[in-house]
Amino acid sequence: MHYEGTIIRPPSEAFSIILQVTVGCSYNKCTFCGAYKNARFRVKSAEEIEEDLHFAAQHCTRQKRIFLADGDVLILSQEKLTDILTRIRARLPKVRRVSLYANARAIRSKTLGQLAELKKLGLDRVYMGFESGSNEVLNRVAKGETAESMIESANMVNESGLFLSVTTLLGLGGRELSEIHARESAETLNRMAPKQVAALTLMPLPDTELGRQYASGLFQLPDQREILSELRILVSSLTLDHTMFHANHASNYLPIEGILQKDKQKILDAVDSALAGTVNLVPEHMRAL
C-alpha cells in the first residue's frame, strides 16, 4: 500500500484495510489539529488507488472492512466517490463495511440523494469531527462551523441511513469555558442523535496555534480532575438512547465505554470513583494521540 504523510484512523478501524484516497485535509485551519499541517491537500489518482486495491485484493483477504483516508474524503466529487466504491466492490467482494472521515462542510456539499447513493454502493459509516457544541469554543479554535451547521449535517447523515459517529474533544474550551463546553456539547449532541460518540482529551501540539497559545499561557488546559469533571457533565447531560459512548482513546485519563442510556449510571459511577481517587488514571507518559 502507498501511504503519504501521517495516516490517522478511528480506534474502531484498527483492523480495517486503510486505503488512502486523499492526502491531507481540505480545510486544515483548526487551531488544535496538527495532523496535516505540512501536507498540501490533493486527491490521489485513479491509478494510485487501483494499485492499492490490487495489493489489498492479494494480501488483505481476511479483512472485511475498509477505511478511506485522509481527513475528509467525503469532500470528493460524487463521481469520484462512486467510482472508488464501485472499484472496492469489484476488487474486494468480501468487504462488508466502508467508512470515512467527513467534516460537516463536506456532508452539506452533498444532497440527501447523493448520500443515499453512496450508502447503496457500500458506504456504511461516517466519522465526523464534532469537537464542541459551544459556538464560542468553535469560534476560538477556528472550526469554521457552528452548533447549528453541525446539527444540519448530522441530520443529513441520519436521514440518508448512514451510521454517524462523532468525536468530541475534552479540554478544548480550556479552564475558562470548561463547563460551557461540556454542557453545550451535550445539548448539541442530543440534537444530532449520532449512533456513536467518542470522547478524546486535548493534548496541545507545539506546532499548532493552540499549542503556541498553551505554551505562552494564553490557553490554560484543564488538569486531570477538571477533565474528569468535564466528562461527568457531558455524560450526565446526554439524553441519547441506544448510542455507543467511548472514551477509550489513548489520550484519555480514564478508559470507559458503554451504551447510553443503559450504561449511563455505570459510566458516571466510574467517573465518580476516579474523582474520589479510588481508580488509577492513565499516567501522562502513557497518553498519546
Tell me whether residue 134 is in a domain. Answer: yes
- pTM of this structure: 0.94
Tell me whether residue 130 is in a domain. Answer: yes
- pLDDT computed for residue 133 by the predictor: 98
The total number of structural domains that make up the chain: 1
In this structure, how many other beta carbons lie within 10 angstroms of the beta carbon of residue 236?
15
The pLDDT tens digits for 127-157 are 999 999 999 999 999 999 999 999 999 999 9
The yes-or-no verdict on residue 30 having pLDDT over 90 is yes
- pLDDT computed for residue 7 by the predictor: 87
Find the CATH number of the domain harbouring 61: 3.20.20.70
Contact between 153 and 109 under an 8 Å Cβ cutoff? The reply is no
Tell me whether residue 186 is in a domain. Answer: yes
Tell me whether residue 5 is in a domain. Answer: no
Tell me whether residue 284 is in a domain. Answer: no
Q: What is the mean pLDDT of residues 170-174?
A: 98
Measure the CA–CA gap between 82 and 63, rounded to whole angstroms. 21
Tell me whether residue 283 is in a domain. Answer: no
Q: Which domain, by its residues, includes 108?
A: 11-276
User: 16: number of CA atoms within 13 Å, CB side?
Assistant: 23
Tell me whether residue 24 is in a domain. Answer: yes
- Which helix (H) or strand (E) element contains residue 173? none
Tell me whether residue 287 is in a domain. Answer: no
Q: What percent of the chain has pLDDT over 90?
A: 91
What is the overall mean pLDDT for the chain? 95
- Pick the closest to residue 25 from 87, 138, 108, 106 (CA basis): 106
